[in-house]
Amino acid sequence: MNLKAIAGTLLPVGLVAGHLSGQNVNYVNSPALSTPPGYSHAVVVEHGRIVYLSGQVGLNAKGEVAGDFRAQATQAFANLRAALAAAGGTPAELIKLNYYVVGLNHEKLVALREARDGFIDKAHPPASTLAGVQSLFREDCQIEIEGVAVLPEKPTGKH
């Protein structure tokens, strides 16, 4: 089954079409699942350049930790923005985010959602995964966020 056939099977379950910089990206939320708060259940990409973003933590350009959890989450999103810009993209082109939070609790979840909502395209939120973890690569880091973005295909130069 090709991607268009797969995408066609998703239409009855809540397809929300998106159009990111010239590629076809569809955000899917199934009515058989609970309504997701700030993310999509699935994202279907028909074409474009995929960018895999390494996990970003709350360290500034000097390698200094940003402070409390909220500050670290905000810095991690700023770092993702910088990595995307270096690849030629923007946060609006994110299709997947994975979050790893040390000591995950309700307070951290609220802070994370607030930081995320200032970063993502709320009309077409990326698919997401959130995991509570025991530790990250540095003892003072409380959050790591990795992502996947889809950028427009490069022109071939042929007319």
Distance CA 52, CA 35 (A): 27
Q: Taking Cα atoms as reference points, which of 12, 44, 37 lies closest to residue 110?
A: 37
Please state the CATH superfamily assignment of the domain spanning residues 48-151 in this structure.
RutC-like (3.30.1330.40)
Measured at the alpha carbon of residue 102, what is the angle toward residues 59 and 106, in degrees to the nearest 5?
Answer: 115
Q: Percentage of the chain surpassing pLDDT 90?
A: 61
pLDDT digits (tens, 9 = 90+) for 4-36: 333 333 333 344 444 444 457 788 888 888 887
43 or 80: which leads in pLDDT? 80
Per-residue pLDDT, 2: 39
42 or 101: which leads in pLDDT? 101
Residue 47: which residues within 8 A CB-CB, separation 6 or more? 23, 24, 153
Every domain of the chain and the residues it spans: 48-151
What letter represents residue 69's amino acid? F
Beta partners for residue 128, in sequence order? 97
Contact 150, 25 (CB under 8 A): yes
At 76 the three-state DSSP class reads helix
For 137, the token pair is 């690569």
